[in-house]
Amino acid sequence: MARAVHRSGLVALGIATALMASCAFAAKDVVVAVGSNFTTLDPYDANDTLSQAVAKSFYQGLFGLDKEMKLKNVLAESYTVSDDGLTYTVKLREGIKFQDGTDFNAAAVKANLDRASDPANHLKRYNLYKNIAKTEAIDPTTVKITLKQPFSAFINILAHPATAMISPAALEKYGKEIGFHPVGTGPYELDTWNQTDFVKVKKIRGLLAARIAQTGQHNLASGGG
């Protein structure tokens, strides 16, 4: 299956709509025009809608929102909140793999939230996570997140598109260059990124595809310039 967005000067009506539409035309290219360049493939460092939409090809979060904007589980199975509103305990799905073959587990969640909540990393989405005091991996499928002060809407931050789970091995390998080397739990992996024109991704197949979260080639082109 191929999905394509070719460069032009037009502005897309909605990249998410285009991605859903492409599923109905599995044997054809889907052509959508967009009006600006992708800035990064790191969800924690993206502050534009287009880059975050593209990142959804590679990444998933603990939670998400359904069509009625109600919370839904994605990589998480459930959560509880302490009586004082300071501690969120999240239970994770088992058996999920990142695209590099490493395990998705509580340690991976901790690595991502530690990175996001550290001001020294200068990530554009830092303000979403600055209320996190600490994140603990209690066991492979249990994460405990402690806040600096109660915030009843914190679960919505965990459902925010920016709160994607990146492979810790990839974070270690690429460091600040992770925005050019996305490795998540999504059904697509990066093929090519021409930074002034397009992003091309391909669907993951074979044994690994059964171990990553399921939701073949996919092109996204920018129309800046």
CATH number at residue 161: 3.90.76.10
**146 and 67, same structural domain?**
yes
Total tally of structural domains belonging to the chain: 2
pLDDT at residue number 125: 97
Domain span including residue 49? 2-58+178-221
**150 and 88, same structural domain?**
yes
**79 and 160, same structural domain?**
yes
Rounded CA separation 105/137 (Å) = 9
Rounded CA separation 47/127 (Å) = 12
The answer to which of 7-11, 34-38, 131-135, 191-195 has the lowest mean pLDDT is 7-11
Q: Return all residues near 115 (Cβ < 8 A) that are at least 6 apart.
A: 44, 121, 123, 171
- The token pair that represents 8 in the structure block: 């032009």
**209 and 111, same structural domain?**
no
pTM, entire model: 0.80
Q: From residue 5, give the alpha-carbon distance in Å to each of 75, 153, 219.
A: 29, 35, 6
Indicate the residue among 126, 146, 169 that finishes a domain: 169
pLDDT digits (tens, 9 = 90+) for 4-55: 444 333 333 344 444 444 444 444 444 444 556 778 899 999 988 888 888 8
